[in-house]
Amino acid sequence: MKEVYLTRTANFLPNSLVENEDVEEFLGLINGQKSKSKLLVLRSNKIKGRYYAIDKQGNTTHTNAQMVSEAVRALFKQSPEEIKSVDLLCCGTSSPDQLMPSHAVMVHGYLPEMNSIEVVSPSGVCCSGMHALKYAFNSIKCGDKTTAVTTGSERLAKQLRSEQFEEELTKLQELEERPYLAFEKDFLRWMLSDGAGAFLLSDKPNENDISLKIEWIDGRSYANVKEACMYMAATKNEDGTLTSFVDLSKAEIIDQSVMSIKQDVKLLSENIIELGFQHLADLMKVKDVDVKNVDHFLPHLSSYFFEDKIADILEKHNVSIPKEKWFTNLATKGNVGAGSIYLMVDELFNSGKLKKGEKILLMVPESSRFSYVYCYLTVC
C-alpha cells in the first residue's frame, strides 16, 4: 500500500468580502423590512465576513462549477502543464448547479486543459468534500491512481435571497430564550457563504516544501437511527419522512418554500453535539492516537455557538484538546459547507506555521442526517 500526501492547496472566493452591515444589500429584505434577528444571530455565530457568487441585484457572477475550476487551476498556477498529470478528480458539494450532469463532470468541463480522466461526485452536505478526499486517498493508497485533485465547495447565496422566504423569524424574545429557533431560516441567511477549495494529492511528498501525509480518514453516519434534520428540495412529514419536490405540484413548491434550506431545530439541538464524539474517542483508541499529540485541531463549525459545546463533549469523552490548538476561519470566510474544511486547511497549510512532525486532526460534522468524518495528518 502506498503512502498518500496532500502536497498543495488552493481556494477561490468570489467577488469581494461582504461584511455584516452589507449582507442585506446582497440578500435583500424580507417583506421589505430589515431583519429583526440579524444582530442577535450574528452575535451568536461571530461571523464577520463572507463571500457571495451574486451581485447586489441577485445576479449570478459564478456558478459552483466555475468556482471549483478556478480553485483547481490555482493549484497549478506555478506550473500550468502539471495539471495534465492528474488522473482523478473528486468534487464534493451540497449545492450543485443542476441535478444532471453531475457536479464533478461540470467542473471537468471548465478545465479543458486537463486530460480525459476518472471523475467522481460524492453527494451530501458538509461531509461530501471529505468523502471526495477519502475516495482519492483510497485510490492512491491502493495504487490505482498516482495523482488526484479533490474539492469542496458551495454556492448558496442565491438560495438565501429574500424572495426564497415567505417571512422571517421576528420574535426576538423567543430567539433569546431558544436560540436554536434561529437556525430554521433566518440563521442560515447570516451564516452561509460561497466559495471553493482544492487539494492536490500524490503518492510522493513535496521535495522542497512541506506536505501533509494522510494517516487515515474515517466517517460515520447515524441515518439508521435518526431522521433528516437539514433538507432542501423536499418537505418534511409528521412521521419524519421527506417528500421530494418531484412529488409536489408547482404550487406546493412555491407555497411551502420547498427550494429553501430548512432545519429541524429540535433534532439539531438534541443530536448534533451528542452524536459522533464517542466514535471519535473510540477511533483514537483503535488508531492508537494519543490526543495529547494533536498539535492542530480543525473543527468545521457552522457557528461559534457550538464551540464551547464541542469542547465540553470532547472533555466528556476524554479527548479534550486545548483551545489554543484549535484553528478555524469561520469568522472571516463564513460557513462554506463542504468547502469549509478545505479553506481551513488551505489557510493553515500556507500560513508558515506548520512544522515537520506535527499532527493535525480534522473534524467535519454534518447535520443533514447526522454524519461525521475525521481525518488525521502528519506534517512532513
Q: Is residue 356 part of a domain?
A: yes
Instruction: Give yes or no for a contact between 321 and 257, defined as CB atoms under 8 angstroms apart.
Output: no
**Residues 69, 191: one domain?**
yes
Distance CA 73, CA 67 (A): 10
The label of the residue with cell 522542497 reads: 208
Query: Tell me, what's the pLDDT at 185?
Result: 59
Q: What is the domain extent for residue 246?
A: 230-263
143 shares a domain with 69: yes
CATH number at residue 301: 3.40.47.10
Confidence class for position 262, pLDDT limits 50, 70, 90: confident
Give me the half-sphere count of Cα atoms (radius 13 Å) on the Cβ side of residue 166: 9
Q: Which of 6-10, 132-136, 140-144, 162-166 has the lowest mean pLDDT?
A: 162-166
pLDDT of residue 224: 96
> What is the secondary structure of 83-139 as a DSSP string?
GGG--EEEEEES--S-SSS-HHHHHHHT-TTSPS-EEE---SSTTHHHHHHHHHHHH
209 belongs to a structural domain: no
Q: What is the mean pLDDT of residues 177-186?
A: 53
Give the span between the Cα atoms of 374 and 28, in whole angstroms.
37
Q: Is pLDDT above 90 for 127?
A: yes
Q: Does residue 97 belong to any structural domain of this protein?
A: yes
Query: Would 207 be classed as within a structural domain?
Result: no
Q: Is the pLDDT of residue 173 over 60?
A: no
Q: Which of 147-151, 153-157, 178-182 has the lowest mean pLDDT?
A: 178-182
pTM above 0.75, yes or no: yes
35: CB partners within 8 A, 6+ apart? 24, 29, 168, 186, 189, 190
Q: Is 32 left (phi over 0), alpha (psi -120 to 50) or beta?
A: left
Q: Are residues 77 and 174 in the same domain?
A: yes
At 37 the pLDDT is 74
Q: Within a domain: residue 325?
A: yes
Who contacts 319 (Cβ-Cβ below 8 Å, separation ≥6)? 277, 280, 281, 284, 291
Does 210 fall in a domain?
no
In a domain, 38, yes or no: yes
pLDDT tier at 183, thresholds 50, 70, 90? very low
**At 369, which amino acid appears?**
R
| Weakest mean pLDDT among 11-15, 65-69, 168-172, 258-262 | 168-172
Q: Are residues 170 and 313 in the same domain?
A: no
pLDDT in tens, 83-113: 999 999 999 999 999 999 999 999 999 999 9
Same domain for 184 and 112? yes
Q: Are residues 142 and 47 in the same domain?
A: yes
Sign of CA dihedral 336, 338, 339, 340: positive
Mean local confidence (pLDDT), 239-254 = 94
Could you give the CA distance from residue 171 to residue 316 in angstroms, rounded to a whole number? Answer: 34
Predicted pLDDT at 207: 93
In a domain, residue 299? The reply is yes
Q: Write out pLDDT tens, residues 329-340.
A: 999 999 999 999
Question: How many domains does the chain contain in total?
Answer: 3
> Residues 6 or more apart from 113 whose CB is under 8 A from it?
80, 83, 84
